[in-house]
């Protein structure tokens, strides 16, 4: 019967599993099915009930475990079976997470759903690097864009209209950082503008590379920065040296008798194929 199940689109947060919201954690703990992404911290999977089905649908720069259409079919199919489904996404479902597309698909199929916001890495990674996105003496606004579509062969970003004041936050921009810097310089930004890149923000593997708009791409490459990483461009980035408070701790202890350890080593793409 259409609508007999229920889907929760849950933001898993920026990386540290402790940063999931209380509501998101409760939804995870009572799920029948969890459909989760590549950037979800494995420790959150320990909160899934033993009876629940887990379906990995992660996407990366060079691979996809499932297409967006397949993911939407999974959510609808499981809900139509009367299941309580959690769509677990890194960050926030509505910040470059395609949560809006999934809600449209669910609404068109008559499936009841809710959105549980998560802490976006656009906010959390700079915060853990000691970079306030706004500051009364430095920046009165911030802009968040995706760097995924900012390559040299793309015209998805109107560089001319990006503000030259305030703070610019770029997600998914590591591969295109050199081109991004060139475009910002060509459209009026000063080469001395402070810049920083935060790799794996909020986690034990966090690394921060600082510089200016002129040299941040070169420094990032020299440091071996890899996704996921958040790029911050603007005067607030210079505050990293003064306000850097986060000291990555020793790696978390492995989960004892973790029922998902084998699953994490080999994601269950077979579960996707049946759809």
Q: Which residues are catalytic?
A: 37, 59, 172
Q: What are residue 54's DSSP bridge partners? A: 34
Cβ(87)–Cβ(75) below 8 Å: yes
Residue 214: CA count within 13 A, CB half-sphere = 4
C-alpha distances in Å from residue 1, one per residue of 81, 95, 199, 224, 242: 8, 32, 45, 52, 58
Distance CA 198, CA 240 (A): 11
Distance CA 62, CA 73 (A): 22
The distance from CA 222 to its chain's CA centroid, rounded to whole angstroms, is 24
């Amino acid at each position: 019967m259409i609508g007999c199940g229920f889907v929760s689109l849950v933001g898993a947060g920026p990386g540290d599993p402790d940063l999931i919201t209380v509501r998101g954690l409760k939804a995870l703990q009572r799920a029948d099915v969890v459909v989760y992404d590549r950037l979800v911290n494995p420790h959150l999977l320990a909160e899934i009930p033993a009876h629940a089905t887990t379906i990995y649908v992660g996407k990366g720069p060079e691979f996809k475990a499932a297409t967006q259409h397949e993911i939407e079919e999974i959510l609808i199919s499981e809900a139509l079976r009367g299941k309580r489904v959690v769509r677990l996404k890194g960050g926030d479902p509505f910040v470059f997470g395609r949560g809006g597309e999934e809600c449209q698909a669910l609404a068109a199929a008559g499936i009841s759903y809710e959105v549980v916001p998560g802490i976006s890495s656009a906010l959390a990674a700079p915060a853990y690097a000691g970079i306030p996105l706004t500051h009364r003496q430095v920046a009165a606004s911030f802009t968040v864009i995706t760097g995924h579509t900012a390559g040299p062969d793309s015209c998805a970003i109107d560089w001319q209209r990006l503000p030259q004041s305030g703070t610019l936050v770029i997600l998914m921009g590591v591969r295109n950082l050199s081109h991004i810097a060139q475009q910002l310089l060509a459209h009026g930004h000063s080469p001395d503008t402070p810049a920083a890149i935060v790799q794996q923000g909020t986690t034990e593997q966090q690394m921060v590379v600082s510089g200016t708009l002129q040299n941040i791409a070169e420094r990032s490459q020299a440091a071996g920065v890899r996704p996921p990483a958040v790029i911050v461009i603007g005067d607030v980035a210079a505050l990293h040296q003064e306000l850097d408070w986060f000291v990555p701790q020793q790696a978390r202890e492995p989960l004892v008798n973790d029922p998902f350890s084998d699953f994490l080593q080999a994601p269950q793409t077979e579960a996707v194929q049946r759809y």
